[in-house]
Amino acid sequence: MKRIYIILFVLLFIVGSTSLMAQQVRVFPSNWWVGMKWNNVQILLYNKSENFVAANIKLKYPGVVVKKVTVLENPHYASIDVTIATNTKPGNVIIKYNNKEGINWPILQRRAGNGKQFAQGVTSNDLVYLLMPDRFSNGDTTNDKIAGLLDQSLNRDSMYLRHGGDLQGVINKLDYLKDLGVTTVWMTPILLNDMPSRTEHGYAITDHYTVDPRLGGNSAYLKLSAAIHAKGMKLIQDAVYNHVGIKHITVIDPPMKSWLHQWPQYTQTTYREQVLFDAYAAASETKKLSDGWFVPSMPDLNQSNPYVANFLIQHALWSVENFGIDGWRIDTYIYNDLAFMNTCNKALLADFPSITMFGETWVHGVVNQSYFCENNMNTKFKSNLQNTTDFQQLFYGIQAALNEKQGWTEGVSKLYNTTAQDILYKNPMGQVIFLDNHDLSRFFSVINEDVAKYKMALGWLLTFRGIPQLYYGNEILMKGFSNPDGLVRSDFLGGWKQDSINKFTTTGRTAQEDSVFQLIKTLANFRLTSSAIRTGKLMQYLPDDGLYTYFRYNQNEKIICMLNTSTTNKTIDISVKYPDMVKAQNSVKNIFTNEISSTKINIPAQTFYIGKLL
């Protein structure tokens, strides 16, 4: 994420809500619901042109009790602390201020299907597909540029300008994703980033309650959520708690001095998470890590301020209930106030008991990573975050396995050793494994565009423990490095009407690309039927001359997976080599070919083998 500048742009909040542009007062959250566990709501009012007077703020509605009205340090802001009784009826609450006409604040009936039709959680049963809406498919060209927004760029020849992809484009490709075997869609943030430049990624929010109109706005997001759930799929929202954009309304006109972490001069985070659990760390370095700004354009929110905490937690709850979110990916998790994160996570689980959350933990070391989620370590701070993005299995697992020759600690031995440290996690099966993402160089490029190695990596990804995550274009050999050209965020060809090649179709893919697509499709759809791969146990064997073997198994099924990372063919009698899992009387069905053979198996060099024991 590069330096970005932001300005406020006021839009409609939700379907049925009153336009706050006309009212000149912003209300956060824009509405609430009857029957929420979070029924003590802190309503934040903002009027950029007029000061509030506490005595002149009135709210009266059956079942809604006003606990306190506070004009904040900046009198452009006021808060109303209310309690919504369980027997309150849905309706339109009128908030009156300064003898002006009322502000509408709806209290709605909750969505049906909590935990079953939405807020279902994302688990090892799923296959997640991460995409950048601006780069995936342009389904509505009328929103490519929106008058009044700062960024009016539209140039697909530049990686750092907008390309026009949107939520309708994602809707149009849901059948493609479902056919591939994808169960869950995760998109980079969809909230408004009204910036003069670099607005395509979404991580510098300027309005928490407005979906970027260049993506289609709130209505398109509701439509996408409905379409995803209608197909039996799930939706993950990308949450950003740590920071906002430099011209977010609360930065341009702060509610109070302590809304942001302030320093005598600009102070950036150290990015060194070790200080949080290092017994010898200096307090000043811990403060820099947590309170320093991520980059100059993204001010750091002071989550120990109760008003900030309520603003963020209520937005999280609002998003899940309003849009029907199933899972929650949390950006830059390690830089947040971890006590705040525990409170926020707990609040989400109280109202949505089945929802799952995973945090971005771009760190180095299993100890480092496990510290930020539920773990088995005896530490002073205990995280309640369920899962993390498993950078360790990437950097010290599959990357090393395919780019290094096996040694005592090198090559595929790193994959084994990293996995052996799963004892630190409370739930290793909840860790999200991946080959690349929007911030990392494409895995195909990292392994020097070696298709054989790439297929091994995909075989591992779709059969190993944890929740597998594809990055858009993994299935068509998209390549590129994160620096200096940013090609990791290239367009998916075929997503724009003017594209001469359509990679969404078999005819648009090269033979090599289609072989990768079919491998993913075969394994992704097989894992949907395999309880051993989705939820079974893992047993791994010590690597031997570049051959790494693991089993996924339960009482009903045993699956053998072998990575031959060496340059020589291997012929293995698996009943002899792996007697814990295989007996001489077993036969094996090759999942790729459906061929049934004895337990003596040939694994060519640089290939992945998967078989079901019969």
User: What is the DSSP-derived secondary structure letter of residue 18?
Assistant: P
CA atoms within 13 A on the CB side of 387: 24
The helix-helix angle for 217-230 and 306-323 (nearest 10°) equals 50
Dihedral of alpha carbons 143, 147, 149, 154, sign: positive
Q: Under a CB-based contact definition with an 8 Å cutoff, are residues 220 and 168 in contact?
A: yes
User: What is the DSSP-derived secondary structure letter of residue 509?
Assistant: S
A 10 A CB-CB count for 182 gives 21
**How far apart are the C-alpha atoms of 57 and 96, rounded to whole Å?**
6
Residue 61: strand pairing partners: 64
Element (H, E) at 234: strand 234-239
Q: State both tokens at 409.
A: 């600690």
Asked if the bond preceding 579 is cis, omega within 30° of 0, the reply is: no
The helix-helix angle for 451-461 and 511-529 (nearest 10°) equals 20
**How far apart are the C-alpha atoms of 424 and 416, rounded to whole Å?**
15
Catalytic amino acids? Answer: 331, 360
CA atoms within 13 A on the CB side of 189: 28
Q: Under a CB-based contact definition with an 8 Å cutoff, are residues 546 and 411 in contact?
A: yes
Chain centroid to Cα 174, Å, comes to 18
Q: State both tokens at 106.
A: 């709806």
Asked if the bond preceding 29 is cis, omega within 30° of 0, the reply is: yes
Q: Under a CB-based contact definition with an 8 Å cutoff, are residues 591 and 561 in contact?
A: no
**How far apart are the C-alpha atoms of 79 and 411, rounded to whole Å?**
57
